[in-house]
Amino acid sequence: MKLADFETYDSLVAMFFDRARTRGDRPFLTAKIDGQWRSQSWREVADKVCLLAEGLRRIGLNPGDRVILVSENRPEWCIADLAIMAAGMVTVPTYVTNTERDHLHILQNSGAKAVIVSSAKLAKPLLPAVFRADAAEHVIAIEPLRQAQAGTVAFHEWAGLLEGDAAALRTRIMRQVEKQGRVAEYLMDRAIGIGEAKLAGRKRLRDGPMNLILEKTLRPKIRQRFGGRIKAMVSGGAPLNPDVGVFFETMGITLLQGYGQTEAGPVISCNRPAAGIKMDTVGPPLDGVEVRIAADGEILVRGELVMQGYWRNSAETARSLQDGWLHTGDIGHLDGQGRIVITDRKKDMIVNDKGDNVSPQKVEGMLTLQPEIMQAMVAGDRRPYLVGLVVPDAEWAAEWAVANGEKFDMPELQGLPAFRNAVRAAVDRVNRELSVIEKVRQIAFADEPFSIENEEMTPSMKIRRHKIRERYGARLDGLYKA
């Protein structure tokens, strides 16, 4: 199927049913169940989509109703999404990391009449919000829930609605390789060296023989860890640190990095072989997508993929959509081949006391690639230099405690000069790769990891800078007096 084929269909549902008709009994959706990979054919999935769409209508839902979908990545997610659309309703997807407060906001804002939830674990923060919501009337459980009828909310089993007559990888792999001995470690180092040279645009004749050795020894073992038949992996959601991309590429695994936003359909660009994969970019814009860079460096997007506006938020719509251009809030530029390079979020950029712009995400990404550091946030707006708040990696800290004869207690370890020096050494390694204005001069330890529960991470696992500043602002300010 080509991109141009999309124009021949009235909807995604029509395209799906046409594909199901032509592909029939070929495998479509596959999942591991009880330790075994099991596939459902295109025909089987199409039958389930039809039955579920009819089931949604049968319980009283109507075209235009919103249905919230709370599920991890599994075949039922795809089936539910297609069935909701087939019934003329609107899917409202949510993060599986949402808190009760997050769910209640989405329920109230969308006016959803029904929710589909996959498991008891995900239902735990969801159901209290459902009971408090004004419009929610139905809960559909993919896996059975221990929940009776509650108030005006009706519970339905997934199987019942289908009745009818229709027929941190990188680090883990590195540690595993280190345990295999010096030969494997040497091969890994050579592979990464070849990848780094390629990223820098250097072609070295001496790399040819080593590439052949790696293809016969190390790379097949790495690919086997991913099932052995993998064609490519896709990365999206935030700019990928080039070092991570180089790692996978040197292991012989094609990594396609995409860029997009929910407001833009949601894919704007993708690194793909035909366009020339370059790990510090997110590739060229897709066909039919216009991209330009504003005077302040913000990435602007225009095309049919751009939304019409935000739901019940005209003020934010007017701010984000201007003359047909979506203001993405991302800062970046286009390289010589027309590929997009993202540097940071516009609102996150640090401007020091000399007026220099610093990308915090770049620095934080490099810090968290170190085995000693699990999380980090840097600060330095209107200040002479950057400082950092660091969460040590618990696994590394436990190993350090054993090696140094100390008890593994994170607060106690953070008070030890030797422990602090070990983490400081990791920061110094990063600083050697940074410009003068990007170097992290001082660090402080956080009291606990950033998490959704303490409101220091978003459901999409991005740090909430304003929340962290509220909690640790005085500690960060104190680093300038040290």
Q: What is the mean pLDDT of the chain?
A: 87
Return the percentage of the chain with pLDDT > 90, whole number. Answer: 58
- Indicate whether 174 pLDDT > 50: no
Radius of gyration of the chain (CA): 25
Among 81-90, 203-212, 382-391, the range scoring the smallest mean pLDDT is 203-212
What is the mean predicted confidence (pLDDT) over 347-364? 89
Q: What is the pLDDT of residue 254?
A: 83
Kindly state the average pLDDT of the residues 398-412: 96
**Does the pTM exceed 0.75?**
no
CA angle 203, 208, 212 (to 5 degrees): 140
User: Given strand 66-70, what is the order of strands in its sheet?
Assistant: 90-93, 66-70, 114-117, 138-141, 154-157
Do residues 90 and 65 make contact, with C-beta atoms less than 8 angstroms apart? yes
The 3-state secondary structure of the chain, one letter per residue: CCHHHHHHCCCHHHHHHHHHHHHCCCEEEEEEECCEEEEEEHHHHHHHHHHHHHHHHHCCCCCCCEEEEECCCCHHHHHHHHHHHHCCCEEEECCCCCCHHHHHHHHHHHCCCEEEECCHHHHHHHHHHHHHCCCCCEEEECCCCCCCCECCEEEEEHHHHCCCCCCCCHHHHHHHHHCCCHHHHHHHHHHHHHHHHHHCCCCCCCHHHHHHHHHHCHHHHHHHHCCCCCCCEEECCCCCCHHHHHHHHHCCCCEEEEEECHHHCCEEEECCHHHCCCCCCCCCECCCCEEEECCCCEEEEECCCCCCCCCCCHHHHHHHEECCEEEEEEEEEECCCCCEEEEEEHHHCEECCCCCEECHHHHHHHHCCCCCEEEEEEECCCCCCEEEEEEECHHHHHHHHHHCCCCCCHHHHHCCHHHHHHHHHHHHHHHCCCCHHHCEEEEEECCCCCCCCCCCECCCCCECHHHHHHHHHHHHHHCCCC
For residue 199, name the pLDDT band (cuts at 50, 70, 90). Answer: low
Measured CA to CA in angstroms, residue 433 lies from 115, 390, 439 at distances of: 48, 18, 9
The topology under which CATH files domain 3-161 is: Rossmann fold (3.40.50)
* More confident site: 1 or 246: 246
The CA distances from residue 73 to 17, 57, 457, in Å, are 21, 25, 21
* Residue 368: band (very low, low, confident or very high) from pLDDT cuts 50, 70, 90: very high
Query: According to CATH, where is 3.30.300.30 located in the chain?
Result: 352-478
Give backbone dihedrals phi and psi of 109, rounded to 5 degrees, phi first: -70, -40
User: What is residue 149's predicted lDDT score, i.e. its pLDDT?
Assistant: 53
For the segment 222-241, the average pLDDT, to the nearest whole number, is 79
The per-residue pLDDT for range 416-428, each reduced to its tens digit, is: 999 999 999 999 9
Q: Which of 151-160, 238-247, 264-273, 445-454 has the lowest mean pLDDT?
A: 238-247
Arithmetic mean of pLDDT, 201-226: 74
| Matching residue, tokens 């962290």 | 468
Burial 99-131 (b: 16+ CB within 10 A, else e): beebbbebbeebebbbbbbbbeebbebbbebbe
Outline which parts of the chain fall under CATH 2.30.38.10.
264-348
For the stretch 11-42, pLDDT in tens is 788 888 888 889 999 999 999 998 999 999 99
Predicted confidence (pLDDT) per residue in 104-113, tens digit: 999 999 999 9
Whether the pLDDT of residue 217 is over 80: the answer is no
Locate tokens 């009706």: which residue? 154
CATH number for the region 264-348 comes to: 2.30.38.10
Residue 44 pLDDT > 60:
yes
Confidence category of residue 170, pLDDT binned at 50, 70, 90: very low
Q: Which residue has the higher pLDDT, 227 or 167?
A: 227
Q: Where in the chain is the domain with CATH 3.40.50.12780?
A: 3-161
Is it the case that residue 167 has pLDDT exceeding 50?
no
> Could you confirm whether domain 352-478 is CATH 3.90.1150.10?
no
In the chain, the percentage of residues whose pLDDT exceeds 70 is 87
Question: Model confidence over 257-285: pLDDT tens digits?
Answer: 899 999 998 899 998 888 888 888 999 99
Read off the pLDDT of each residue in 470-477 and give the average, rounded to a whole number.
96
What is the per-residue pLDDT across 291-343, written as a single tens digit (0 to 9) for each? 999 998 999 999 999 999 999 999 999 999 999 999 999 999 999 999 999 88
Residue 30: per-residue pLDDT? 95
Instruction: State the average pLDDT over residues 461-479.
Output: 93
CA distances from 320 to 96, 188, 342, 360 (A): 27, 45, 18, 23
Give the residue-averaged pLDDT of 378-391.
95
Confidence of residue 251 (pLDDT cuts 50, 70, 90): confident
Residue 219 has pLDDT above 70, yes or no: yes
Average pLDDT over residues 45-62: 91
- CA-nearest of 68, 220, 57, 215 to 133 is 68
